[in-house]
Amino acid sequence: MANLKELRNRIASVSSTMQITSAMKMVSAAKLKRSQDAIIQMRPYAQKLTALMGNVAATLDASENPYAQERPIQRVLIIAMTANRGLCGAFNSSVIKRTKVVAEAYEAQGATVSVFTVGKKSRDLLKKTMNVVGEELEVVNQVHFEGARRVAEVAMQGYVQGHYDKVVMIYNQFKNAAVQLLQEEQLLPVQPAVSSEGQAGDYLYEPNKVSLLEELIPTSIKSQVFKALLDSQASEHGARMTSMHKATDNATSMRDGLKLQYNKARQAAITNEILEIVGGAEALNG
């Protein structure tokens, strides 16, 4: 009977865990729908704005565009975007691993690498081994443009002031609920675009080039960060939904197996009791 009690306790424990993982799956599915709609709407705008900025940057010299100055890469800033929580498969660990690989590659070239972490997981895991110069945690819970602006301004100010020669973002790009694509994207310096004919596009500026570019280029950089944050948020919910779905399936299989063991053990115990009764009756008759 002790064995039966142990099996009942395990069945209750697994069933409770299954209810939790199932609830987390449904919550992530609801959040994923909103995040997916947001990134699908944002992505074409951000891509078009980035392409426009690249075309404009190709027509400027270094004095007109301080965000496109090519310098020897001696100081690198990596913006690592993860979640504040776990239970989402390899979503966080993939960003952490890629950040370390990229940092080691730049350090092998003689550069000094600093990290700006977005999310508690990247902060907690990277601060032990790398130079973490800043963090942004609030924006992960609810992605908004103001949070993207704060992250982008850290990168832009550091680049313009010469603290960094290159800024790279590492994040998960959302493809679908089951697939997230790890991205390593250069934020600064701005990469000039060149047309297929090898010539940059020509533009007319109104009211003038300087005032327009003072707004266009920073806005484009902030939008690029905002898109990455939306991608990361949608990827997080997709990864957690998939992970919790698998956990629920595993818990269901484990519970069914334990129930089968319980029924077999209970049947064996009942059979033993019947045999004892029959044996006792025969002994009395004898």
CATH code for the domain of 221: 3.40.1380.10
Q: What percent of the chain has pLDDT over 90?
A: 51
**286 in a structural domain:** no
Question: Is 17 within the bounds of a domain?
Answer: no
pLDDT of residue 118: 96
Q: How is 215-257 classified by DSSP, letter by letter?
A: HHHHHHHHHHHHHHHHHHHHHHHHHHHHHHHHHHHHHHHHHHH
Q: How far apart are CA 279 and CA 194, in angstroms?
A: 94
The dihedral built from the CA positions of residue 213, 217, 223 and 226, taken in this order, carries a sign that is negative
Q: How far does CA 222 lie from the centroid of its chain?
A: 19
In this predicted structure, what is the pLDDT of residue 60? 66
Candidates 79, 227, 223, 58; CA nearest to 164 is: 79
What mean pLDDT do residues 66-93 have?
A: 91
| Closest-CA residue to 241 (of 27, 7, 5, 18) | 27
End-to-end CA, the chain: 30
| Mean pLDDT for all residues in the chain | 86
Q: Is the pLDDT of residue 197 over 90?
A: no
Give the model confidence (pLDDT) of 98-141 as tens digits.
999 999 999 999 999 999 999 999 999 999 899 999 999 989 98
Choice between 76 and 51, residue whose per-residue pLDDT is larger: 76
Q: Does residue 64 sit within a domain?
A: yes
* Full residue range of the structural domain in which residue 93 is found: 22-242
Pairing of strands 75-81, 166-176: parallel
Contacts with 3 (C-beta within 8 Å, 6 or more apart), sequence order: 265
87 found inside a domain: yes
Residue 15 lies in a domain: no
In the chain, the number of structural domains is 1
Q: Output the pLDDT for position 201.
A: 56
Q: Is the pLDDT of residue 283 over 80?
A: no
Q: How far does Cα 92 stand from its chain's mean position? A: 6
* Residue 216 or 183, more confident: 183
pLDDT > 60? residue 281: yes
Contacts by residues 100-104 (CB-CB < 8 Å, ≥ 24 positions apart): 100/126, 100/129, 100/130, 102/78, 102/168, 102/170, 102/184, 103/76, 103/78, 103/130
CA distances from 68 to 12, 13, 63, 115, 190 (A): 61, 58, 9, 21, 5
Question: Does residue 254 lie within any of the structural domains?
Answer: no
Asked if 137 and 119 count as a contact pair (C-beta separation under 8 A), the reply is: yes
Say what the pLDDT of residue 190 is.
84
